[in-house]
Amino acid sequence: MRLFRHVLLSLPAAALLSLAAVAPASAQQAPSPDGATTASPARTADGARVGTLSSAKEVEEYWTPERMRNAQPLTAEDTGAKRSSGAPEQPTGTPGDTPAAAPSGDVRTKIDQTPVAGKVFFTKPSDGKDYVCSASALNSDSKQMAITAGHCAHEGNGGDWMENWAYAPEYRNGDRPYGTFAAKQLRTFNGWIDNGDLNWDVAMVTTWPQDGDKLVNRTGGNGLSWNYSREQDITINGYPGNRDNGELQWYCTGTTSDSDGKLALGCDFGGGSSGGPWMREFDESSGLGNTNGVMSTIDNNGVNRSSYFGDSVKAMFDEQGPVT
**Helix H or strand E encompassing 66:** helix 65-70
pTM over 0.85? The answer is yes
User: Residue 87's pLDDT band (boundaries 50, 70, 90)?
Assistant: low
Write out pLDDT tens, residues 137-193.
Answer: 999 999 999 999 999 999 999 999 999 999 999 999 999 999 999 999 999 999 999
Strand partners, 251: 237
CB atoms within 10 A of CB 173: 11
Sign of CA dihedral 213, 214, 215, 218: negative
Domains and CATH numbers, the chain: 36-86+110-320 (2.40.10.10)
Residue 61: predicted pLDDT: 96
